[in-house]
């Protein structure tokens, strides 16, 4: 038997093991998040990708090489974009002299803050302790599976942590990142002199897109990021990859 003849079967077995392990982990992760957190596009995408990887492993010997190479290219593109978003978003650029903080909303489970939302608020608290003159805008409306608007829940948490109520501005209507910035700017324009500067708080995966949306809304903003817990990586990065691609397509169609 030639060297290539002995290596190829081993590589095929290794590939199938990798596909089964990765696909199984993603499927279990999606099921766990669906049961313990709000159902999102990211959770659904994680489940679809996980099941697709398992199916790929099952049918691997029967799939044509061209289709397999195309699938590998897609996986590499997703991993590359996710890595870029993580690295870019982890480079905080706030200088602690901003006039206001905008905390972008995330899920509330009933009336309880999700770990992601509490992480963002704790990040904003750390910033506010360094720059206590800044106003804090908490931005987020009420979604499905939520008993109250995200902005209201966020404000209650900050006040419970010692932030004076008159330093917290509640924006409780936004249903998207675009509305987060547009509605928050409207509130800040009423309270601060022209030329004010803002720092926004979100997770690292979201920073790249949020920067562009803030600029389009006319918000002069720096950013600080909450680091996403590892068990949310798949669902959050997959969802954000789709959103960034949609943003690029939208920008290309306008230009």
| Confidence bin at 158 (pLDDT 50/70/90) | very high
Residue indicated by tokens 């209650």 = 156
Q: Are strands 108-109 and 112-113 parallel, antiparallel or unpaired?
A: antiparallel
pLDDT of 6 over the 80 cut: no
> How far is it, in rounded angstroms, from Cα 68 to Cα 60?
8
Taking only the tens place, the pLDDT of each residue in 183-218 is 999 999 999 999 999 999 999 999 999 999 999 999
> What number is the average pLDDT over the span 22-34?
93
Distances 72 to 15, 66, 86, 125, 198 between C-alpha atoms, Å? 11, 10, 21, 42, 41
Instruction: From 229, 230, 231, select the one nearest 32 (Cα to Cα).
Output: 231
Residue 199's pLDDT is what?
98
User: How high is the mean pLDDT of the chain?
Assistant: 92
| Confidence bin at 2 (pLDDT 50/70/90) | very low
Beta pairing partners, 92: none
Question: How much of the chain exceeds pLDDT 70, in percent?
Answer: 94
CA 185 to chain centre: 21
pLDDT of 40 over the 90 cut: no
Taking only the tens place, the pLDDT of each residue in 55-70 is 999 998 888 889 889 9
| Confidence bin at 124 (pLDDT 50/70/90) | very high
Residues 6+ apart with CB under 8 A from 228: 116, 203, 204, 205, 236, 237
Judged by average pLDDT, the poorest of 118-122, 152-156, 250-254 is 250-254
Taking only the tens place, the pLDDT of each residue in 167-183 is 999 999 999 999 999 99
| Confidence bin at 8 (pLDDT 50/70/90) | very low
Residue 11's pLDDT is what?
64
pLDDT of 29 over the 90 cut: yes
């Amino acid at each position: 038997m030639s060297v290539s003849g002995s290596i190829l079967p081993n590589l095929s077995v290794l590939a199938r093991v990798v596909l089964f392990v990765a696909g199984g982990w993603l499927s279990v992760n999606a099921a766990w998040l669906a049961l313990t957190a709000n159902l999102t596009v990211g959770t659904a995408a994680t489940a679809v990708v996980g099941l697709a990887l398992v199916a790929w492993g099952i049918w691997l010997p029967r799939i044509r090489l061209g289709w397999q190479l195309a699938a590998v290219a897609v996986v590499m593109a997703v991993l590359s974009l996710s890595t870029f978003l993580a690295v870019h978003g982890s480079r905080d650029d706030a200088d602690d002299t901003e006039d206001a903080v905008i905390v972008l909303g995330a899920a509330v489970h009933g009336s309880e803050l999700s770990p992601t939302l509490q992480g963002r608020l704790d990040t904003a608290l750390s910033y506010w302790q360094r720059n206590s003159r800044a106003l804090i805008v908490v931005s987020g409306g009420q979604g499905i599976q939520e008993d109250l608007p995200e902005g209201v829940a966020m404000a209650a948490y900050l006040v419970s942590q010692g932030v004076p109520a008159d330093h917290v501005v509640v924006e409780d209507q936004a249903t998207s990142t675009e509305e987060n910035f547009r509605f928050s700017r409207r509130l800040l324009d009423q309270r601060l002199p022209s030329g004010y500067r803002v720092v926004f708080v979100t997770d690292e995966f979201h920073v790249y897109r949020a920067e562009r949306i803030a600029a389009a809304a006319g918000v002069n903003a720096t950013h600080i990021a909450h680091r996403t817990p590892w068990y949310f990586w798949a669902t959050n990065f997959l969802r954000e990859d789709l959103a960034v691609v949609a943003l690029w397509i939208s920008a290309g169609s306008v230009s």
